[in-house]
Amino acid sequence: MLCLMEVANPYIFKIKPYVPGKPIDDVKRELGLKSVIKLASNENPFPPSPKVLSAMAAASRGVNRYPDGGCFVLRRALARKLNVDDDQLIFGNGSDELIVLAVKAFAAKGDDIIIAKPSFLIYEIASILSGARLHQVPLRDFHYDLEAMKAKINARTRIIFIGNPDNPAGTYVSQRQVEDFMRAVPKSTLVFFDEAYFEYVRAKDYPDTIALMKKYPNIMVTRTFSKMYGLAGLRIGYGIASRQVIDILNRLREPFNVNSIAQAAALAVLGDEPYYRNIAREIESQRQYLYRTLRAMNIPFEESFTNFILIQVGSDSTAVADALLKKGVIVRDMAAWGLKSHIRVSIGSPSENKRFIKTLGEVL
């Protein structure tokens, strides 16, 4: 008689489980530390605005009821903000869920998916589980090599994932690069732009992918309320695509996949943009502080268009990350991404960043 291990989806055993950053309380408990800071998960170090917290409190009184499965009020407000039709939007339990839905909808065994290497691990996990052939194109100087990705496209290519800006590199592809790339992509291939860090980008040539959808209906864009807007604990993201693509994804989407408190918080975010513009300015200021201090310490890094920085720390990133952890500073060891000499550090509050720099100096 067969056991469950023998009848499970065989592709599952090709996947290395995603390991999230360690929670602060776990580190305190395990290491007996009283003070710990977490700069590992690209979180916003500042709390949501008072308006958002108030909206969450009000929504909490109705959690005995199921949420609005279609996110009607939020959908209408966001469509107006983005200047798209309501039926061009889909909401997810974080934008991660939408990545998984896209792979389920458009890729299967025998199909091809193209991603960068290294890049966001969920692209790889979802692709392997589908049974599709995964083509991983190495970054070139920590930038997407779109010419090499073009060379991988064939009649069976179903999805191309482009993190823009990318995690973990923090770099972006420009408007001109995207337009040149899209001209080479068949209409039967979905080009999935993951724009989780969109709100942090200040580059003038960052692409307007939503506008490009009119010419290229095979584009899909996802964004999130987790990063800039500080709703990581509520898990809410959204996707923009053609009506046809959204209709397909909605057939797979779980009912009530976005909880009512998350919907209320996201709606309140849209009405409180000045608060978040101030946060964007503060993050930019802290990014420049980290650049200056890292240069002064002769520590190499990649200039970032996100709320994190990829830092080169020598030949053993795991040893450095562990040493920082023992001193109460949680960062992301990039060895799992194949970058064994790098750590990724979220841009924290001023006090957190000063503590990180001081501790990094001690460790190195």
pTM of structure: 0.94
- Looking at residue 1, its pLDDT comes to 67
- Separation between Cα atoms, residue 216 and residue 316, nearest integer Å: 44
What SS3 string covers 150-197?
Answer: HHHCCCCEEEEEEECCCCCCCCCCCHHHHHHHHCCCCCCCEEEEECCC
Q: Answer whether 287's CB lies under 8 Å from 301's CB.
A: no
The DSSP output letter for 62 is T
- Separation between Cα atoms, residue 239 and residue 221, nearest integer Å: 6
Long-range contacts of 68-72 (CB under 8 A, 24+ apart): 68/260, 68/263, 69/255, 69/256, 69/257, 71/258, 71/263
Q: What is the CATH number of domain 50-270?
A: 3.40.640.10
- Looking at residue 171, its pLDDT comes to 97
- Separation between Cα atoms, residue 294 and residue 170, nearest integer Å: 16
- Looking at residue 21, its pLDDT comes to 76
Domain locations in the chain as residue ranges = 7-47+274-363, 50-270
- Looking at residue 215, its pLDDT comes to 97
Q: What is the CATH number of domain 7-47+274-363?
A: 3.90.1150.10
- Looking at residue 341, its pLDDT comes to 96
Angle formed at CA 195 by CA 264 and CA 228, multiple of 5 degrees: 50
- Looking at residue 3, its pLDDT comes to 73
Q: Which residues of the chain have pLDDT under 70?
A: 1-2, 6-7
Q: What distances in angstroms separate CA 74 from CA 51, 90, 248, 261, 271, one per listed residue?
A: 16, 11, 21, 12, 11
Integer distance in angstroms from the first to the last C-alpha of the chain? Answer: 56
